C-alpha cells in the first residue's frame, strides 16, 4: 500500500508528516489521510509531489507501490529449462545416445549441465531418495569419484544406477537399499561407467 511506502521513506529520512508536507507542498491533512489509510488512492499529482520529495521519479515511486508476485512468501523464480534426451531401454552394442535408445525429450533446469536423462526403474536407490519413475540427470563421463552415483552398463546389456566404490582393482556397485546385494565387477561381470548422476526430478515432489 502507498501508506506503507510513505511510512518507510519517512522513517528512512527521519521525517514527520509535517516535514513531508513542507518538502512536497502536499497539505498535511492530505498526508495524514494517506498515511492513516483513510485515503487509499491519492491522485496522480499528489503521488508525483510525494515522489519528488523523496528524490524519486514518479515511475520509481509507482513501481515500488506495486506488489510483485516475487515478494510473496514461498514464491521462487522458475529456472530456465532446456530439453534433454530421455533414454529408454539401451540396446546391446548401441551408442548410449543412439536414436534407437531415445524415448523422447524432457525439460530440466539449465544449471544441471547434463547430457541425457534416465528414468529410474525399481527401488534399489531409495536410500538416495531416488524412487521408481524418477528422472535422473546424467552427465557423460567415463569415470566418477569414489562414492559417487553413476549410470553403468553391466555386461554391455543393461544400464543400472548405482553408487560406485573401488576395492583394489575391482569396482563395487552398491545399491542404496539393503535388500539389493552389491555387484562386484571382478571378471564375472563387466561394467562400463557412462556418466555421473548430477540431479533428479522426483515423482514424489
**How many other CB atoms are found less than 10 A from the CB of residue 160?**
18
Active site residue 124: yes
User: What gap in Å lies between CA 194 and CA 62, rounded to an integer?
Assistant: 54
User: What gap in Å lies between CA 150 and CA 89, rounded to an integer?
Assistant: 17
Question: Which residue in the list 3, 24, 84, 124 is annotated as catalytic?
Answer: 124
**How many other CB atoms are found less than 10 A from the CB of residue 124?**
20
Active site residue 162: yes
Question: Which residue in the list 3, 10, 84, 162 is annotated as catalytic?
Answer: 162
What 3-state DSSP class applies to 142? coil
Sheet of 81-87, strand order: 102-109, 81-87, 116-119, 135-140, 191-201, 149-154, 158-167, 170-174, 183-185
User: What gap in Å lies between CA 40 and CA 1, rounded to an integer?
Assistant: 8
Give the sign of the dihedral formed by CA 150, CA 154, CA 157, CA 158. Answer: negative
DSSP, residue by residue, 42-79: --HHHHHHHHHHTT--HHHHHHHHS--GGGSTT--PPP
Active-site residue list: 124, 162
Amino acid at each position: 500500500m502507498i501508506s506503507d511506502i510513505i511510512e518507510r521513506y519517512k522513517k528512512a529520512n527521519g521525517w514527520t508528516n509535517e516535514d513531508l508536507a513542507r518538502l512536497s507542498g502536499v497539505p498535511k491533512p492530505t498526508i495524514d489521510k494517506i498515511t492513516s489509510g483513510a485515503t487509499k488512492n491519492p491522485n496522480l499529482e499528489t503521488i508525483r509531489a510525494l515522489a519528488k520529495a523523496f528524490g524519486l521519479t514518479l515511475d520509481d515511486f509507482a513501481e515500488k507501490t506495486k506488489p510483485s508476485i516475487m515478494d510473496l512468501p514461498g514464491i521462487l523464480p522458475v529456472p530456465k529449462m532446456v530439453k534433454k534426451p530421455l533414454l529408454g531401454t539401451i540396446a546391446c552394442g548401441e551408442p548410449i545416445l543412439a536414436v534407437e535408445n531415445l524415448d523422447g525429450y524432457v525439460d530440466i533446469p539449465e544449471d544441471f549441465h547434463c547430457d541425457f536423462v534416465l528414468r529410474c526403474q525399481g527401488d534399489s536407490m531409495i536410500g538416495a531418495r531416488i524412487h521408481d519413475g524418477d528422472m535422473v540427470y546424467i552427465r557423460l563421463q567415463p569415470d566418477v569419484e569414489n562414492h559417487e552415483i553413476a549410470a553403468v552398463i553391466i555386461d554391455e546389456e543393461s544400464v543400472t544406477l548405482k553408487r560406485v566404490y573401488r576395492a583394489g582393482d575391482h569396482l563395487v556397485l552398491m545399491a542404496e537399499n539393503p535388500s539389493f546385494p552389491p555387484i562386484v565387477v571382478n571378471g564375472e561381470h563387466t561394467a562400463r561407467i557412462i556418466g555421473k548422476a548430477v540431479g533428479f526430478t522426483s515423482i514424489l515432489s
